[in-house]
Amino acid sequence: MLRAFFIFLSKANWAQKLIMNWRFAWRVASRFVAGINIVDVINVTRDLNAQGLNVTIDHLGENATTAEDTLSATKEVISLLQAIDKYDVRANVSIKLTQFGLNINTDLCKSNLSKIIECAKKTRNFIRIDMEDSSITQETIDLVNWLKGVYPGVGTVIQSYLYRSEQDVLNLTNDCIPIRMVKGAYQESAQVAFPKKNEVDENFDLLTKICLDKIRQCNEPEISDDGRFPPLIAIASHDDLRISNGIDYANQINLSKKNYEIQMLYGIRRDLQKKYAELGYPVRVYVPYGTHWYPYFMRRLAERPANVWFLVSNLFRN
């Protein structure tokens, strides 16, 4: 119930205005968001790199409604790729297609993506296409396949809560397209998604195994030395059991630690991030920045009631 409510709030304009004007909300949100601009995010990335953690940077924004907004988001991502290159940090970039016009016009989205890919090629970096709600899963996968034909340094995300994901994993791994495995962060109906947490978890383990089994068939099965190009599978979860089940299976089939990576979100389970990095596993932290932090923040609240109580209890203290 609480999860559904916060995901509903993440799309409500009135709630966005209310919460973004409340100064304390930013203080809580900044636990999950690295700052407002490129300078902020490069500084955070440097700190994480110094702790042995790789990074994927996300310029926050989604569901753009004007072509102008998509163009300025495109410019920002190009500047971000250039900054990663200039400051030589161990980071790649994650993007959401609705920030670049997927909801407006596919050609506009393709044109923006072409500019980003051109810059990724020049700066030798990797672009991860995040997965949004199920209404655009197929379009997202179609565009990932199109991009892969233009530049191999592209991957996407699979959500284990969707029934369709097993087939998507088989198709994507046959083409050696890198996958980030997640449980899924949106509100989906039982028509398209497993309603029970244990089913989502079981499917996560199954899909992770399928990816691990395919690693040796792909040309570049290991994470690149500069920490930018990931292997075929990233196990992206803060659920220690999902990670350890993936590692156990990888050990069973004699994969090395560099054949897969572990990903977690900035500000969540830092203890686990540190633990796996110290054990020698490549760990990548997803670091968002920018002024459009509201929907991302609401999804983080939706995932964990304790975050909401922290916010609410401070509301009454202020």
Ligand X SMILES: Cc1cc2nc3c(=O)[nH]c(=O)nc-3n(C[C@H](O)[C@H](O)[C@H](O)COP(=O)(O)OP(=O)(O)OC[C@H]3O[C@@H](n4cnc5c(N)ncnc54)[C@H](O)[C@@H]3O)c2cc1C
Q: Give catalytic residues, as residue numbers.
A: 130, 180
287 lies in the binding site for ligand X (CB under 6 A): no
261 lies in the binding site for ligand X (CB under 6 A): no
183 lies in the binding site for ligand X (CB under 6 A): yes
DSSP string, 132-199: --GGGHHHHHHHHHHHHHH-S-EEEEEETTBTTHHHHHHHHHHTT--EEEE---S---TTTB--SHHH
130 lies in the binding site for ligand X (CB under 6 A): yes
Q: How many CB atoms lie within 10 A of CB 39?
A: 12
Which of 6, 100, 126, 186 touches ligand X (CB under 6 A)?
Answer: 186
Min dist CB 200 to ligand X, Å, is 8
Are 161 and 7 in contact, with CB atoms under 8 Å apart?
A: no
Q: CB-wise, 110 or 269, nearer to ligand X?
A: 269
Binding piece for ligand X, criterion CB under 6 A, among 11-19, 101-109, 135-143, 183-191: 183-191
Residue type, 136: I
Q: In the range 151-180, which residues lie near ligand X by CB under 6 A? A: 157, 159, 180
Q: How many CB atoms lie within 10 A of CB 133?
A: 17
**Sequence-distant (≥ 6) Cβ neighbours of residue 157 within 8 angstroms:** 128, 129, 130, 131, 179, 180, 181, 182, 236
Which of 57, 131, 172, 181 touches ligand X (CB under 6 A)?
Answer: 131
Q: Which two tokens stand for residue 208?
A: 């992770």
Min dist CB 228 to ligand X, Å, is 15
Contacting residues toward ligand X, per CB under 6 A: 130-131, 157, 159, 180, 182-186, 236-239, 263-265, 268-269, 286, 300, 303-304, 307
